[in-house]
């Protein structure tokens, strides 16, 4: 039996994150029973075909009965509805967490619904690929990646420690953060890059002077990487924009100012300033590699990761 063990874990939502959790929970023996719930009967059937759980239902309330740990893996805009559905069926002392990339919004939606006898601990594993659905998951998704917990001030420390140990057993490195600060950090490191990618790919798609076939045929590595981000789940990213609006708008404003400065440098032919900017930004890339959050390999090592893991890591 694993050192971190729950008698029953309920996974609500069985997309990339949920199905990866199911796989690593099974591999590491972190639960005696894995209950899977999702609103789509078709997705639920596929999860059962893949053998991801021990019980399957489209009823969220049914799935969480008797569960020691409940992890909600749905688009952040649906968090409140899920909380309403499960609140009356939660076990006394259960830990309830989520995986959403916006935390203040999730807390505002879920906390009012949570009964006083459970431990609500919002979380966010910073791991993912552009793929979705139960087939997209793999047990190694969280290996070496950060999981940020944003517990409320009154949260039981033993419950926080148990949830942190769970994520560590899944391969993650765990940190704690204030929810508002988390949302600001993620706005720049995740949300803004995705929005830029969606916008650039959209611009290329709308160009009248360049045909779509030329965009696809002659794509250089930079544009290819933007299309990887821009192919991420549209429902998830719609909800991220709507639920982290203030932080995203702040980062978009700063980005717009910096982009205007770059335009001036190019217009004025200021080669020295351009060189300084490009030199400074290279150092960020080196820092990410040194921190173990990326590999220094051709094509970012993604081809080998795709072949060995069945999907790309972020």
CATH topology for 181-309 is: 6-phosphogluconate dehydrogenase C-terminal fold (1.10.3660)
Structure confidence by residue, pLDDT tens digits, 184-219 = 999 998 899 889 988 988 888 787 667 777 777 777
Distance of CA 210 to the CA centre of its chain: 34
pLDDT of 306 over the 60 cut: no
pLDDT value for 299: 55
Decide: 33 and 58 in contact? Cβ < 8 Å.
no
> Any idea where the domains of the chain sit in the sequence?
6-177, 181-309
Instruction: Quote the CA–CA distance of 229 and 300 in Å, as a whole number.
Output: 14
**Could you give the angle at the alpha carbon of 249 between the alpha carbons of 243 and 252, nearest 5°?**
130
So what's the pLDDT on residue 1? 40
Plot region of 313 (φ>0 → left; ψ -120 to 50 → alpha; else → beta): beta
DSSP string covering 223-252: HHHHHHHHTS-HHHHHHHHHHSHHHHHHHH
Query: For the segment 37-56, what is each residue's pLDDT rounded down to a tens digit?
Result: 999 999 999 999 999 999 99
Average pLDDT over residues 172-177: 96
CB 226 within 8 A of CB 204: no
* Mean pLDDT for all residues in the chain: 89
Query: pLDDT tens across 99-148, in order?
Result: 999 999 999 999 999 999 999 999 999 988 778 899 999 999 999 999 99
CA-CA distance, 112 to 299, in Å (whole number)? 45
Q: What pLDDT score was predicted for residue 296?
A: 65
| Distance, C-alpha 286 to centroid of its chain | 23
Q: Label residue 95 exposed, middle or buried (CB < 10 Å: 0-12, 13-18, 19+).
A: buried
Fold of the domain built from segment(s) 6-177 = Rossmann fold (3.40.50)
Q: What is the full DSSP assignment across 143-196?
A: TT-EEEE---TT--HHHHHHHHHHHHHTT-EEEE--HHHHHHHHIIIIIHHHHH
Q: How far apart (Å, rounded) are the C-alpha atoms in residues 52 and 35?
A: 9
């Amino acid at each position: 039996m694993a050192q971190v063990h729950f008698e029953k874990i309920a996974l609500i939502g069985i997309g990339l994150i949920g199905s990866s959790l199911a796989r690593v929970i099974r591999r590491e023996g972190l639960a005696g029973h894995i209950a899977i719930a999702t609103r789509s009967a078709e997705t639920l059937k596929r999860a059962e075909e893949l053998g991801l759980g021990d019980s399957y239902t489209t009823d969220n309330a049914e799935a969480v009965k008797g569960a020691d740990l409940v992890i909600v893996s749905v688009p952040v805009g649906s968090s409140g509805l899920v909380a309403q559905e499960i609140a009356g069926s939660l076990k006394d002392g259960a830990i309830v967490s989520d995986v959403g990339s916006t935390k203040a919004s999730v807390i505002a939606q879920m906390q009012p619904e949570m009964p006083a006898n459970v431990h609500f601990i919002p979380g966010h594993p910073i791991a993912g690929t552009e793929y979705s659905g139960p087939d997209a998951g793999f047990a190694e998704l969280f290996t070496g990646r950060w999981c940020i917990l944003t517990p409320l001030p009154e949260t039981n420390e033993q419950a926080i420690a148990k949830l942190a140990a769970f994520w560590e057993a899944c391969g993650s490195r765990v940190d704690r953060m204030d929810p508002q600060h988390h949302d600001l950090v993620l706005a720049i490191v995740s949300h803004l890059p995705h929005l830029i990618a969606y916008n650039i790919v959209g611009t290329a798609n709308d160009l009248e002077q360049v045909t779509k076939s030329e965009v696809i045929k002659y794509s250089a590595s930079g544009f290819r990487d933007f299309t990887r981000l821009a192919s991420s789940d549209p429902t998830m990213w719609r909800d991220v924009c709507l639920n982290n609006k203030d932080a995203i708008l702040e980062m978009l404003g700063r980005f717009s100012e910096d982009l205007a400065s770059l335009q001036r440098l190019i217009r004025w032919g200021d080669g020295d300033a351009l060189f300084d900017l490009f030199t400074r930004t290279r150092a960020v890339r080196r820092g990410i590699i040194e921190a173990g959050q990326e590999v220094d390999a051709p094509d970012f090592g993604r081809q080998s990761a795709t072949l060995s893991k069945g999907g790309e890591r972020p």
